[in-house]
């Protein structure tokens, strides 16, 4: 979860235009009423749909409203876990020392806007009573908004070299093909594909492959009656010791210690 306290909750005022710097990481919902909305060099002219925008500290915002009857909400956190990206279509969010690229602006439907506005209203009520439990709920609300934005981005079908490589890895958890072979299927050298993959997903293809195989192993341990050796064989491991070592490295526990569920 993003570290730092929620320091402010605001609802749109009556001003019809403003220009100001952003001092705290924030997520804003803009429902209607704008001639334009600009973040640094990115301009949205007469946005026809509601939109969410993530604002890292240090950016500058400028807007002009069609009338005083505009509607927006904003939640701000004092956090260093959200920062600018070299591409102003994105921001970067820190998770376990990895910087994850997330769309800065997400357009949403009217129905989604109504649901999210209700979430902001509940958060605003919590903000009025600044007790520790409400602070935690507001931080969870901030994380929920980030999750919505990330899930909306997943709904967009991507066809990048890195996404093709990821799909190939997902289909080959048995490790029948080397990463060199999968890279060639995507039309790139292994080193170039490693760079593209890490830029998009913040981990290398090998690290992703290992995690994906061990996640599958955990699922098989918990939801099948297969012996550990058979699971290792199904995932392409020739030596049980290699499988067990990788499993413990990723999950922090030996496969023999996993509680097995009877599927009968």
Average the pLDDT over 12-23 and give the result. 81
Question: In the predicted model, what is the mean pLDDT of the chain?
Answer: 88
Q: Give the model confidence (pLDDT) of 102-158 as tens digits.
A: 999 999 988 899 999 999 999 999 998 889 999 999 999 999 999 999 988 775 556
pLDDT value at residue 263: 46
Number of structural domains the chain divides into = 2
pLDDT value at residue 93: 92
Backbone angles phi, psi at 245, to 5 degrees: -65, -45
Q: Residue 264 falls within a domain, yes or no?
A: no
Cα–Cα dist 250/216, whole Å: 12
Q: Give the model confidence (pLDDT) of 186-227 as tens digits.
A: 999 999 999 999 988 888 999 999 999 999 999 999 888 899
Cα–Cα dist 166/178, whole Å: 13
Which structural domain, as residue segments, surrounds residue 41? 6-154
Report pTM. Answer: 0.66
Average the pLDDT over 84-97 and give the result. 88
CA 174 to chain centre: 27
CA dihedral defined by 176, 178, 184, 188, rounded to 10 degrees? 140
49 versus 183: which is more confidently predicted?
183
User: Do 174 and 61 fall within a single domain?
Assistant: no
Closest by alpha carbon to 264, among 220, 235, 214, 223? 223
Copy the structure tokens of residue 2.
Answer: 């993003």
User: Do 74 and 171 fall within a single domain?
Assistant: no
Are 64 and 33 contacting, i.e. CB atoms less than 8 angstroms apart? no
pLDDT value at residue 183: 95
Are 55 and 109 contacting, i.e. CB atoms less than 8 angstroms apart? no
Q: Residue 262 falls within a domain, yes or no?
A: no
Are 255 and 226 contacting, i.e. CB atoms less than 8 angstroms apart? no
């Amino acid at each position: 979860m993003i570290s730092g306290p929620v320091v402010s909750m605001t609802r749109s005022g009556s001003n019809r235009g403003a220009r100001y710097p952003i001092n705290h990481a924030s997520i804003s919902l803009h429902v209607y009423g704008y001639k334009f909305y600009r973040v640094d060099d990115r301009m949205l002219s007469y946005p026809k749909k509601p939109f969410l925008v993530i604002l890292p500290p240090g950016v500058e915002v400028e807007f002009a409203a069609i009338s005083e009857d505009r509607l927006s909400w904003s939640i701000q956190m004092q956090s260093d876990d959200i920062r600018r990206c070299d591409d102003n279509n994105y921001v970067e969010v820190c998770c376990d020392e990895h910087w994850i690229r997330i769309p800065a602006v997400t357009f949403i439907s009217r129905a989604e806007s109504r649901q999210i506005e209700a979430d902001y209203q509940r958060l605003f009520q919590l903000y009025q009573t600044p007790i520790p439990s409400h602070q935690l709920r507001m931080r969870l609300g901030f994380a929920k908004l980030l999750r919505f934005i990330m899930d909306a981005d997943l709904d967009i079908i991507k066809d990048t070299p890195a996404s093709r490589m990821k799909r190939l890895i997902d289909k080959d958890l048995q490790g029948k093909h080397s990463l060199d072979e999968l890279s060639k299927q995507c039309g790139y050298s292994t080193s170039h594909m490693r760079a593209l993959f890490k830029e998009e997903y913040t981990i290398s293809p090998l690290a992703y492959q290992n995690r994906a195989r061990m996640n599958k192993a955990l699922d098989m341990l918990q939801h099948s009656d297969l012996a550990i050796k058979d699971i290792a064989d199904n995932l392409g491991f020739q030596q049980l010791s290699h499988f067990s070592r990788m499993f413990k490295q990723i999950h922090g526990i030996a496969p023999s210690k996993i509680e097995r569920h009877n599927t009968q």
